């Protein structure tokens, strides 16, 4: 989350906490109708009307339970459909990421605008450089004709007073897939044919108009059932909940929520590393000019849909989430698996047909924090119990940008010291797209490409709590604590063939 969006962060976390309380307490779920009044009372805090605040919170509550938003033209209670949502299995209908129409500010789309800083100077370089004649001087002020403007930005570059600004709605600017469009009222609309559910739009909307669906409610129903429920924690979890929740205390923290046990997804990261190293050495450059990593679902989907003729250049190795889930289910065949991580796109990955039997639920760190708050878990009193499963430093390094490629390079060096792997990486889907274009054009022949949809990698995913810098520091600490360094040292490599 963006640290500067404190009021939005507070609302999001209150929603998750209230939904978790509702699920843990059980009883008459119709009392969900009371929550908007509990959170917003008296005078409006953020919107022009307290009634609007409650209406928006009501839709957020429904999305957090996995329910679809209501049609504003119909009288439907907030709890409508909840009887179906009270289940101990994955529940939500696409789309995953949603725009709450009446929360959207209909921000201006991509445009250039002359501010009051314009001095109407004699040189007026803005008019001189405009290739379409869109800029003119009227009453000693520059004006831009939006009908003629081609958004080249040349006027902005030459203005000596920096009086011309480039306006772009924040969600649109954050979207690396150009999936944000406008409806007939100028409000944001998601083109789901382009969207890869990276979640960057929802954390960058200053009005909190975009939200994804959650599975908190169903995870807690599963915990309350008689089945075993195991949490598999993405490497970026260290530092997310403060220094007291670490590799030694996470087991106690999760068991207080009702989980049966905890495994590190870094186990699967080790196996993914080994597979990608073998894959690279076998195929590059003899069969493929370059190869891309596989663990980021948004990067992988973008690459395969926008560069379909090069889809085989993305490694076919299973992601750490899937490999870890399969390992756990091999040991606990009847258990349900909850992936906990920084990424909203993992919810989309888990819903794919070939993954559904492996990963039952996906929670973000922010959603898990809602469960901790609902149960009032005191992190200061957690008991230390090191996790039994062993992983390596390189597996834990997947949490930060560059970590995946670095792990593959280290593994390849162990497998065949004569092999040298060159690496190129990018974070943010726009940069990832440019990386792929350059690779297709021959710039990265023989390279391993690491793509991450989120800036700075998983450490800044849409569902994170801690700052990326803090997470990176804690990940480095967890790597130093690992008894084994290279993924080729994983004690689970002998099981890899059985997980396909």
Mean of per-residue pLDDT scores for the chain: 95
pLDDT tens digits along 437-484: 999 999 999 999 999 999 989 999 999 999 999 999 999 999 999 999
Q: Which residues pair with 138 in a beta bridge?
A: 141
For the stretch 90-120, pLDDT in tens is 999 899 999 999 999 999 889 999 999 999 9
Distance of alpha carbon 423 from alpha carbon 447, whole angstroms: 5
Residue-wise pLDDT for 14-61, tens only, equals 999 999 999 999 999 999 999 999 999 999 999 999 999 999 999 999
Say whether pLDDT at 357 is over 90: no
CATH architecture assignment, domain 111-167: 2-Layer Sandwich (3.30)
Tokens 């068991």 -> residue: 255
Distance CA 440, CA 387 (A): 43
pLDDT of residue 1: 46
Q: Among the listed ranges 159-173, 378-392, 428-442, which one has the minimum average pLDDT value?
A: 378-392
pLDDT at 382 over 60: yes
When pLDDT is averaged across residues 171-192 and rounded to a whole number, the result is 96
Residue 419 has pLDDT above 80, yes or no: yes
Q: Under a CB-based contact definition with an 8 Å cutoff, are residues 78 and 33 in contact?
A: yes
As given in the structure block, the two tokens for residue 11 are 């609302």
Q: In this predicted structure, what is the pLDDT of residue 239?
A: 86
Structure-block tokens of residue 50:
């307290």
> In this predicted structure, what is the pLDDT of residue 324?
97
Q: Which band of pLDDT confidence, cut at 50, 70 and 90, is reported for residue 355?
A: low
What the block records as the tokens of 434 is 């440019």
pLDDT at 395 (0 to 100): 97
Mean pLDDT to the nearest integer, 392-416: 97
What the block records as the tokens of 278 is 């073998």
pLDDT given at position 156: 97
Distance, in Å, from the CA atom of 261 to the CA atom of 44, rounded to the nearest integer, reads 43
**Residue 42 — left, alpha, or beta (φ > 0 → left; ψ -120 to 50 → alpha)?**
left
Please, which contacts does 415-421 make with residues 24 or more away whose CB atoms are closer than 8 Å? 415/277, 415/278, 415/281, 415/488, 416/281, 419/281, 421/280, 421/447, 421/448
Q: Give CA–CA dist 443/424, Å, rounded.
A: 10
Q: How far apart are CA 41 and CA 324, in angstroms?
A: 45
Average pLDDT rounded to a whole number, residues 57-84: 95
Domain(s) labelled CATH 3.30.70.20 in the chain stretch across: 111-167
Contact 26, 68 (CB under 8 A): no
User: pLDDT confidence of 186, banded at 50, 70, 90?
Assistant: very high
Residue 328 banded pLDDT, cuts 50, 70, 90: very high
Predicted pLDDT of residue 2: 54
pLDDT digits (tens, 9 = 90+) for 197-250: 999 999 999 999 999 999 999 999 999 998 999 999 999 999 899 999 999 999
pLDDT of residue 366: 97
């Amino acid at each position: 989350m963006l640290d500067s969006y404190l009021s939005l962060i507070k609302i999001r976390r209150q929603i998750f906490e209230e939904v978790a309380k509702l699920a843990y307490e059980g009883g008459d779920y119709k009392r969900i109708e009371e929550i908007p009044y509990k959170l917003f009372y008296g005078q409006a805090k953020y919107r022009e009307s307290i009634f609007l605040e409650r209406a928006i919170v009501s839709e957020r509550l429904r999305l957090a339970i996995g329910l679809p938003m209501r049609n504003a033209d119909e009288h439907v209670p907030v709890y409508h459909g909840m009887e179906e949502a009270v289940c101990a299995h994955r529940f939500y209908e696409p789309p995953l990421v949603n725009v709450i129409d009446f929360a959207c500010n209909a921000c201006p789309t991509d445009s250039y605008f002359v501010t009051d800083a314009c001095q109407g100077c004699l040189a007026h370089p803005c008019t001189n450089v405009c290739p379409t004649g869109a800029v003119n001087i009227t009453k000693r002020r520059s004006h831009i004709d939006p009908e003629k403007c081609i958004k080249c930005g040349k006027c902005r570059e030459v203005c000596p007073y920096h009086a011309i600004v480039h306006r772009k709605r924040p969600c649109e600017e954050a979207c690396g897939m150009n999936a944000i469009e406008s409806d007939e009222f100028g409000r944001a609309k998601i083109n789901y044919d382009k969207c890869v559910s990276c979640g960057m739009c929802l954390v960058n909307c200053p009005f909190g108009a975009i939200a994804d669906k959650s599975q908190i409610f169903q995870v807690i129903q599963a915990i309350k059932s008689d089945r075993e429920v195991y949490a598999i924690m993405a490497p970026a979890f260290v530092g997310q909940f403060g220094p007291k929740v670490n590799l030694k205390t996470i087991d106690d923290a999760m068991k207080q929520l009702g989980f049966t046990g905890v495994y590190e997804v870094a186990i699967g990261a080790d196996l993914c590393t080994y597979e990608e190293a073998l894959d690279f050495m076998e195929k590059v450059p003899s069969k493929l000019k370059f190869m891309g990593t596989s663990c980021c679902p948004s990067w992988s989907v973008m690459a395969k849909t926008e560069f379909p003729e090069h889809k085989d250049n993305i490694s076919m190795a299973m992601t750490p989430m899937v490999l870890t889930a399969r390992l756990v289910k091999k040991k606990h065949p009847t258990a349900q698996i909850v992936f906990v991580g920084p990424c909203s796109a993992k919810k989309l990955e888990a819903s794919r047909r070939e993954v559904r039997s492996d990963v039952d639920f996906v929670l973000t760190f922010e959603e898990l924090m809602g469960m901790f708050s609902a149960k009032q878990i005191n992190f200061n009193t957690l008991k230390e119990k090191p996790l039994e499963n062993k992983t390596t430093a390189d597996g834990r390094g997947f949490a930060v940008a560059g970590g995946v490629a670095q792990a593959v390079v280290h593994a390849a060096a162990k497998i065949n010291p004569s092999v040298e792997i060159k690496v190129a990486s990018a974070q943010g889907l726009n940069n990832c797209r440019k990386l792929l274009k350059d690779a297709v054009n021959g710039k990265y022949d023989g390279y391993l490409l690491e793509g991450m949809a989120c800036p700075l990698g998983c450490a800044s995913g849409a569902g994170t709590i801690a700052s990326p810098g803090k997470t990176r520091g804690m990940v480095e600490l967890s790597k130093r604590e690992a008894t084994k360094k290279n993924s080729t040292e994983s004690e689970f490599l002998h099981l890899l063939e059985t997980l396909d």
